Amino acid sequence: MESLTSRERIGLVESAFEAWNRGDLDGFAEHVSEDVAWLEVSGRPEGGGDAELVGRDRMRNSLRSLFDAWESYHLEAERLEDLGDRVVAIVRETARGRASGVEVDGRWGYVLTVADGEIVRVEAYRDAGQALRVTGLSETR
């Protein structure tokens, strides 16, 4: 398959986040490869992290538990940078706990590797700046 253009890679990531924000895990999963690797480098606020999940179904099940824990969960892309085979996404995370009502407002950094028109690897960083640093990008544009 032909390599995607920069615009197409950014569009793929934007479309994945749109599905996420609709709560459409199946729609989100359509953007990733069957053997996607998902690495939470710095973990989720509700526990876990620093573990790699491999496979679309394992990723979907993990995200389902995330969505079950939160009444609302939204990611707004603040910055998307195409690096060829990777896209760096700095996002604002806003969420409200289902049982606790606790509200979260923070920033995450994602490094998404794209191949053959699919996301094949996701590295999620609780510290958005860390995602920029590992890819050699500046925290200021």
**Per-residue pLDDT tens for 77-124?**
999 999 999 999 999 999 999 999 999 999 999 999 999 999 999 999
User: Given this model, what pLDDT does residue 61 score?
Assistant: 87
CA nearest to 96, candidates 65, 71, 117? 71
Strand pairing category for 103-115 and 118-125: antiparallel
The residue among 74, 71, 53 whose CA lies nearest residue 62 is: 53
Identify the DSSP state of 8: H
Q: What is the pTM of this model?
A: 0.87
Q: Percent of the chain scored above 90 by pLDDT?
A: 72
User: Which has the closest alpha carbon to 30: 140, 107, 117, 138?
Assistant: 117
Say if residues 119 and 112 touch (Cβ distance below 8 Å). Answer: yes
Stated as kind and residue range, the H or E segment containing 102 is none
Q: Largest Cα–Cα distance of the chain, in whole Å?
A: 47
Domains of the chain: 6-134 (3.10.450.50)
